[in-house]
Amino acid sequence: MRVLSIKMSQITVFFHATRQEGQLYLPNLVEGLVRRYKFADAPRNFGDIEADAVEFRHGLFRGNAVESLRVFSDGIVIKSRSDSDEVDAFIADFTLWTREQIGLSFFC
Closest to 108 in 3D by CA, of 42, 34, 17: 17
Residue (of 41, 100, 90, 99) closest to 63 by Cα position: 90
The stretches of 8-102 forming alpha helices (DSSP H) are 26-37, 84-97
User: Helix (H, G, I), strand (E, B), or coil: what is residue 9?
Assistant: strand
In a 13 Å sphere around the CA of 2, the CA atoms on its Cβ side amount to: 1
What does the pLDDT look like over 47-95, one tens digit per residue?
Answer: 766 657 789 999 999 999 999 999 887 888 999 988 888 999 999 999 8
| pTM of the model as a whole | 0.83
**In sequence order, which ranges of 1-108 are alpha helices (DSSP H)?**
26-37, 84-97
